[in-house]
Amino acid sequence: MSRTSAIAALPGFRLTVGYTVLYLSLIVLLPLVALFLKAAGLGWNDFIAAAFNPRVMASYWLTFGTAFIAAVINAAFGLAVAWTLVRYRFPGRRLIDALVDLPFALPTAVSGIALTAVYSQNGWIGQWLEPLGIKVAFTSTGIVVALVFIGLPFVVRTLQPALEDLEREVEEAAASLGATPIQTFIRVTLPAILPALLTGFALAFARAIGEYGSVVFISGNMPMKTEVTSLLIVTKLEQYDAAGAAAIAVVMLAVSFTLLLGINLLQRLSGRRHLAGV
Amino acid sequence: MTRLAPYAALALLLAPIAGCGPSSQADASGRTPSGEPAKAGKVTLLNVSYDPTRELYQEYNKLFAKKWREEAGQEVTIEQSHGGAGKQARAVIDGLRADIVTLAIGYDIDEIAQQTQRLPINWQSRLPHRSSPYTSTIVFLVRKGNPKEIKDWDDLVKTGIEVITPNPKTSGGARYNYLAAWGYALRQNDKNEDKAKEFISALFKNVPVLDSGARGATTTFVQREIGDVLLTWENEALLALRELGEGEVEMVVPSVSVLAEPPVAVVDKNAEAHGALEAANAYLQGLYAPEGQKLAAKHFYRPQSTEHADKADLERFAEIELFSVDDEFGGWQEAQKKHFVDGGVFDAIYQP
């Protein structure tokens, strides 16, 4: 049944699959292969030297650390935003809904410059935080702020459909059986949306790891302290060291891939447990 | 949901790439990818330059188009491409069909020559003054009234002074900043390199933010009001003074600084392929001619021959002892190898 309708909509399985494979090869696979080949040209010792010297290591910790923190923040607050948008009808809801997409559309450099202006020592928010001893711009805190900004829509947009699918009757049943709102949320709602939440988290995390445009403006780019890996890669390229840049990129890719694979497994487990529970 | 996730991720990754795929090459070079020679009587030049020359070349292009129409009877359209010098050189190496490159440091054009063989290695000897029709230097920009009393390089290493400079690894201008400070330290310490190293380390310990390019550093200093002193090109400093009406910042000229020589070159094979070699050569020679020199001075660059420039323009350039990168450091290749490569002197500053 579903197959016949698919044939009606698109010009046949072979053609679409062929197109998909070609498209992905040209745009994703080929550049990645080129990347690995470039890095392979270095030889083992040079590869280690380029990809694991102390400065690069410092940037890995910073990049993955800030990306993780930002994704956690996004998971929590993105859930709140998605919840509000799905569950309540209030004036301005459409506007807020549209605002969520803004980080998708904005060039990241623009958001970086805007965030730096707001959070630097003379900025609208920075001037109030600085006397309290909280420095945001040009510290790792600033990097987290930028990464939260660019990652938010990923969580909200993956959670919204899951929340909409959720049947309110289940929650009402829980409440009528004497569960508190918090108990209901933790034992009924959360398990149902956990796979979507993890997906949103993973997308926001992956996006943050590679972020360059907004971070270069707000981080201050100090070696060993606030220098993210993507900046180091660009620095290498500007010194005409394509192989060195590729070496760092390959390490980043490997780590991200492993992390995403882990999250994917987690997703499956949580999805299965939830289904078994029902 | 779980199964959709990877596709959603892919779609997000691909959307921006797919949007600008096939058309970008033609746009970037301004002509068809086949690189067909332009028709006789009409020619297009692409000048790939770095950021602060935008205004200078906008004006020079009009001048040259007029001159070329009169002298050679050929209509010439000049396209400009501006960006960070390193990025621009990178683009030419990767295939941007520049007929002319006008970049921040000779090293960038050396790389183009070596990696593409589209112009000879000895490109720098083809035009007078090592192919730099105009020069500049590195000066200080300080807050109005100079509250921290910054007068010379020594003042930059004092405790409590914040110095703003871009990263020498990503910015040609920042490399000049660094070499200027190094040259000063050598002069103060009887050419003792260890002392110079200490000096440069102390200076960069005072740097709170390393922007990736010169314009970014100017923004950090002027708009965000971070730092006590900005190290910058003289032409950028003069431009900033004009833009800000001398209300917020002041220029301070140190006792000695580096001679910045932004070079120009024709990318022979590219120009030949478009039948634009003659025009491209004339374009660069025109920079050395009286009108070109006058325009350079107007746009805050020091002209090589001063007799054609306006007196008022020349008066803005302070007397200052200048050393060249060739004399002091044995050229850009040497300077790059010692100071800015990975594991060089600059990296050592940030070793834990």
- In chain B, the residue whose alpha carbon lies closest to the alpha carbon of A114 is B224
Q: Do B2 and A267 touch (CB under 8 A)?
A: yes
Q: Which residues of A touch B212 (CB under 8 A)?
A: 216, 221, 231, 234
**Residues A6, A129: one domain?**
no
Paired tokens of B281: 């050569």
* Mean per-residue pLDDT, A239-261: 90
**Residues B83, B49: one domain?**
yes
Q: Mean pLDDT per segment of 10 residues, for chain B of length 352 residues?
A: 44 39 36 43 90 90 94 92 83 91 92 94 94 96 95 95 92 92 95 94 94 84 91 92 82 96 96 93 96 95 93 92 94 92 89 76
On whether the CB atoms of residues B254 and B320 are closer than 8 A, the answer is yes
Alpha-carbon span A254 to B184, nearest angstrom:
45
**Residues B185, B231: one domain?**
yes
Q: Which residues of B touch A104 (CB under 8 A)?
A: 12
| Rounded (10°) angle between helices B214-222 and B234-244 | 40
Phi, psi dihedral angles at B119 (to 5 degrees): -145, 155
B17, B170, B207 member nearest A27 (Cβ): B17
Residue with tokens 């299965």: A272
**Residues A36, A162: one domain?**
no
The per-residue pLDDT for range A211-227, each reduced to its tens digit, is 999 999 899 888 888 99
- In chain B, the residue whose alpha carbon lies closest to the alpha carbon of A227 is B210
Q: What is the pTM of this model?
A: 0.79
Q: Is the dihedral of CA B315, B317, B321, B325 positive or negative?
A: negative
The per-residue pLDDT for range A63-92, each reduced to its tens digit, is 999 999 999 999 999 999 999 999 999 999
> B40 touching A, CB under 8 A?
no
Alpha-carbon span B41 to A239, nearest angstrom:
40
**Residues B153, B105: one domain?**
no
Residue B125 lies in a domain: yes
Paired tokens of B285: 């020679």
**3-class SS at B343?**
coil
**Residues B174, B266: one domain?**
no
Paired tokens of A11: 């010009």
Rounded to a whole number of angstroms, the CA Rg of chain B reads 22
Give the CA distances from residue A269 to residues A19, A191, A206, A216, A275, in Å, rounded to whole numbers and listed in that order.
33, 11, 20, 37, 10
**Residues A111, A173: one domain?**
yes
**Residues A90, A196: one domain?**
yes
> A264 touching B, CB under 8 A?
yes
Alpha-carbon span B252 to A160, nearest angstrom:
57
DSSP A195-245: HHHHHHHHHHHHHHHT--HHHHHHS---TTTT--HHHHHHHHHHTT-HHHH
**Residues A152, A28: one domain?**
no
A54, A222, A236 member nearest B352 (Cβ): A54
**Residues A14, A110: one domain?**
no
**Burial, B160: exposed, middle or buried (Cβ in 10 Å; 0-12, 13-18, 19+)?**
exposed
**Residues A23, A80: one domain?**
no
pLDDT at A188 over 90: no
Alpha-carbon span A239 to B174, nearest angstrom:
14
B174 or A1: which carries more pLDDT confidence? B174
On whether the CB atoms of residues B254 and B108 are closer than 8 A, the answer is no
Residue with tokens 């007929």: B99
> B224 touching A, CB under 8 A?
yes
Residue B149 lies in a domain: yes
Q: Which of residues 155-214 of A touch B (CB under 8 A)?
A: 158, 161-162, 195-196, 199, 202-203, 206-207
**CA distance, residue A138 to nearest chain B CA (Å):** 7
**CA distance, residue B93 to nearest chain A CA (Å):** 9
**3-class SS at B338?**
helix
Three-point CA angle A34, A39, A40, nearest 5°: 95
Alpha-carbon span A2 to B123, nearest angstrom:
66
* Residue B11, pLDDT score: 45
**Residues A32, A139: one domain?**
no
Residue B98 lies in a domain: yes
> A62 touching B, CB under 8 A?
no
Residue B1 lies in a domain: no
> B306 touching A, CB under 8 A?
no
* Residue A275, pLDDT score: 59
Paired tokens of A261: 């694979």
| HEC secondary structure over A45-83 | HHHHHHHCCHHHHHHHHHHHHHHHHHHHHHHHHHHHHHH
The domain in which residue B123 lies consists of 42-132+262-288
On whether the CB atoms of residues A256 and A206 are closer than 8 A, the answer is yes
Q: Which of residues 85-104 of A touch B (CB under 8 A)?
A: 104
Residue B315 lies in a domain: no
**Residues A50, A34: one domain?**
no
> B347 touching A, CB under 8 A?
yes
A161, A216, A235 member nearest B169 (Cβ): A235
**Residues B86, B61: one domain?**
yes
User: For residue B22, what is the DSSP state?
Assistant: T
Q: How many CA atoms lie within 13 A of B96 on its CB side?
A: 23
* Residue B171, pLDDT score: 84
**Residues A210, A115: one domain?**
yes
Which of A29-33, A271-275, B33-37, B38-42 is predicted with the least confidence, judged by mean pLDDT? B33-37
* Residue B246, pLDDT score: 64
- In chain A, the residue whose alpha carbon lies closest to the alpha carbon of B4 is A199
**Residues A31, A48: one domain?**
no
Q: Which of residues 66-125 of B touch A (CB under 8 A)?
A: 84, 86-87, 90, 93, 111, 115
- Backbone dihedral region for residue B250 (phi beyond 0: left; psi -120 to 50: alpha; all else: beta): beta
User: For residue A164, what is the DSSP state?
Assistant: H
**Residues B101, B155: one domain?**
no
Return the closest-CA partner of residue B142 out of B163, B122, B159, B128: B163
When divided into structural domains, chain B yields a total of 2
Q: Which of residues 135-174 of B touch A (CB under 8 A)?
A: 167, 169-170
When divided into structural domains, chain A yields a total of 2
Q: Do A222 and B210 touch (CB under 8 A)?
A: yes
The domain in which residue A151 lies consists of 44-277
Residue B117 sits in a domain whose CATH number is: 3.40.190.10
Best probe of the B interface among A240, A253, A256, A257, by most B CBs < 10 A, is A240
**Residues B155, B220: one domain?**
yes
Q: Which residues of A touch B340 (CB under 8 A)?
A: 239
Count of residues making up chain B? 352
Rounded to a whole number of angstroms, the CA Rg of chain A reads 22
Q: Which of residues 217-236 of A touch B (CB under 8 A)?
A: 217, 220-224, 231, 234-236
Q: Residue B91 is which amino acid?
A: A
Alpha-carbon span A178 to A190, nearest angstrom:
18
Residue B306 lies in a domain: no
Residue B238 lies in a domain: yes
**Residues B251, B268: one domain?**
no
Residue with tokens 């900005």: B230
**Residues B227, B343: one domain?**
yes
* Average pLDDT taken over every residue of chain A: 88
Phi, psi dihedral angles at A189 (to 5 degrees): -70, -55
The per-residue pLDDT for range A92-128, each reduced to its tens digit, is 999 999 999 999 889 998 999 899 989 988 889 999 9
Residue B313 lies in a domain: no
**Residues A65, A6: one domain?**
no
Residue with tokens 């959670």: A159
